[in-house]
């Protein structure tokens, strides 16, 4: 078991300085720009009505041709394979974030409760295209990916404590922000070329941003052999995260919500990147 694999399994998050060479960083920048220039059915503002620009787009079923070189001819799928400790890697979906101006922090949450998937072989690669200081970087609670899953944030701009599911469906999300000294919160300053990789069951949240510091982030989500279908109360995909968009059911995520829980998470429409 290699060191990165062991750290990822233990902590659920790793930081790799200078992971991307110049070509890979350029391809990542081009991929971000393609998505920004070609809004998909999941594009839109987050925390609508709050100050600043907080824009995201994700799971565009037409993105893969523009992402193909980045995903198949760079180190990114190999990094995922290393963390999974297996050879097979598939793309789950892509996502971009663009923040500009004085934006509020992203609420603490886990990604997994919004998705019809579970398992050890899941990861999110977080690639900032501008330098980001530690105090305004994405924050994590190491080890929290081991569970439990909490009732996820509804991303309600008027009530950050609002939950997506009814009470009792999942344990309530802890109020991490009001008791920061009681949690082992970690974050990193990043430069272009650095990568943060975390498990989607990890508790994480984003610090606020400020005027004059626009931020572009490309987020790539991968799964491996040990990924399984999961049943969720909202039918497998959440409107709150822009995934339950109208694309005619073309994205393979839409095709997984009816699968029996515990079955292998597989569909031929997910691009297989390795082997």
Comparing 117 with 159, the larger pLDDT belongs to 117
User: What pLDDT band is residue 257 in, cutting at 50, 70 and 90?
Assistant: confident
User: What pLDDT band is residue 180 in, cutting at 50, 70 and 90?
Assistant: very high
Rounded CA-CA distance 164/145 in Å is 19
Domains, the chain: 3-270 (2.60.120.620)
Q: What average pLDDT does this structure show over 160-182?
A: 91
pLDDT at 158: 85
Residue-wise pLDDT for 197-247, tens only, equals 999 999 999 888 889 999 999 999 999 999 999 988 766 566 655 566 677
Q: What average pLDDT does this structure show over 177-185?
A: 96
Looking at the chain, the whole-number percentage of residues with pLDDT higher than 70 is 95
The CA-to-CA distance between both ends of the chain, in Å, stands at 19
Rounded CA-CA distance 222/197 in Å is 10
Burial pattern 80-106, b for ≥16 Cβ within 10 A else e, equals bbbbbbbebbbbbbbbbbbbbeebbeb
**Mean pLDDT, all residues of the chain:** 92
Q: Quick one: tokens of 271?
A: 């691009």
* pTM of the model as a whole: 0.94
32, 219 Cβ separation under 8 angstroms:
no
pLDDT at 80: 98
Q: What average pLDDT does this structure show over 6-15?
A: 97
pLDDT at 236: 57
Q: Quick one: tokens of 42?
A: 């999941």
User: What pLDDT band is residue 50 in, cutting at 50, 70 and 90?
Assistant: confident
pLDDT at 239: 61
Is residue 270 scored above 90 in pLDDT?
Answer: yes
Residue 220: strand pairing partners: 94, 125
Phi and psi at 163, nearest 5°, equal -100, 155
């Amino acid at each position: 078991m290699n060191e990165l694999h062991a750290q990822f399994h233990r902590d659920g998050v790793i930081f790799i300085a200078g992971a991307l060479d110049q070509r890979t960083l350029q391809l990542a920048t081009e991929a971000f720009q393609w998505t920004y220039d070609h809004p998909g059915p999941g594009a839109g503002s987050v925390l609508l009505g709050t100050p600043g620009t907080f824009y995201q787009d994700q799971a565009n079923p037409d993105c893969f041709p523009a992402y193909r070189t980045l995903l198949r001819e760079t180190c990114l799928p190999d990094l995922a394979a290393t963390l999974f400790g297996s050879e097979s890697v598939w793309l789950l979906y892509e996502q971009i974030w663009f923040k500009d101006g004085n934006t509020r922090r992203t609420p603490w949450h886990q990604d997994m409760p919004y998705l019809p998937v579970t398992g050890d072989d899941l990861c999110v690669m977080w690639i900032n295209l501008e330098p980001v200081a530690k105090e305004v970087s994405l924050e994590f609670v190491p080890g929290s990916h081991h569970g439990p899953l909490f009732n996820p944030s509804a991303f309600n701009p008027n009530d950050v404590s609002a939950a997506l599911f009814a009470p009792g469906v999942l344990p309530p999300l802890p109020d991490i922000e009001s008791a920061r000294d009681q949690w082992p919160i970690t974050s990193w300053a990043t430069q272009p070329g650095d990568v943060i990789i975390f498990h989607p069951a990890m508790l994480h949240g984003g610090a606020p941003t400020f005027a004059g510091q626009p931020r572009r982030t490309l987020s790539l989500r991968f799964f491996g052999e040990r990924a399984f279908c999961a049943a969720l109360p909202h039918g497998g995909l959440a409107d709150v995260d822009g995934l339950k968009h109208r694309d005619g059911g073309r994205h393979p995520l839409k095709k997984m919500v009816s699968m029996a829980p515990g079955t292998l998470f597989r569909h031929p429409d997910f691009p297989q990147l390795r082997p």
